[in-house]
Chain A
Amino acid sequence: KNQVEQSPQSLIILEGKNCTLQCNYTVSPFSNLRWYKQDTGRGPVSLTIMTFSENTKSNGRYTATLDADTKQSSLHITASQLSDSASYICVVSAIRDMRFGAGTRLTVKP
């Protein structure tokens, strides 16, 4: 069964610190992997998209990595800001399927 598991469920860090969010998947055959940021009460916003041949993609302070062999991805946030407080969602696409993880809720405290 195609699944996407994210960890941790929630995370609290201090402003200025780095953090890494994890995504494991069983979706097959793999097409691409996306990370989204969702602010409370808003729709998700795309951060990165990676295909099979890409193992890293950056968008400002956000860097996503992909290991297609182990079916794992991570999202690294550098020098966190209060505005990074949000849910981060991992989405894995197969040819005719797209599965969303439940998300990691990140809280950045001053």
Chain B
Amino acid sequence: NAGVTQTPKFQVLKTGQSMTLQCAQDMNHEYMSWYRQDPGMGLRLIHYSVGAGITDQGEVPNGYNVSRSTTEDFPLRLLSAAPSQTSVYFCASSYSGSWQYFGPGTRLTVT
């Protein structure tokens, strides 16, 4: 099993550009989620999904969109990048109430 994979590892965007962060898991987990991690702060939930076709907002959803067309994939879209979105982004997956598996992260810089 590859576990949770994320691409790209690093990305630099200019303000206003859009992009998609990819996340995939091969463990057949129904739960998937996206977090951002900023210095001195805990991870904050952006969006999550409890199954294919179902998504919901987390704590900090503004400026981000998600979709879940398959169990395996959960892409995160930045609609119009802003410097405030400079962060490290983690994708995670799990069965309900069980161990959560995190991907290696994407380090995003918006200039």
A residues near B103, Cβ cutoff 8 Å: 43
Within 8 A of B (CB), among A1-51: 4, 31-32, 34, 41-46, 49
Interface residues on A, range: 10 to 19
Complex alpha-carbon distance, A106 and B20, angstroms: 34
Chain B residues near A (Cβ < 8 Å):
4, 35, 40-45, 90, 92, 97-105
Decide: A43 and B42 in contact? CB cutoff 8 A.
no
Total CB contacts across the A-B interface at under 8 A: 37
Complex alpha-carbon distance, A98 and B97, angstroms: 11
Contact of B42 among A31, A32, A46, A102 (CB under 8 A): A102
The A interface, classified by DSSP as helix, strand, loop or mixed, is strand
Known: A43-B90, A46-B99, A46-B100. A99 touches B105 (CB 8 A): no
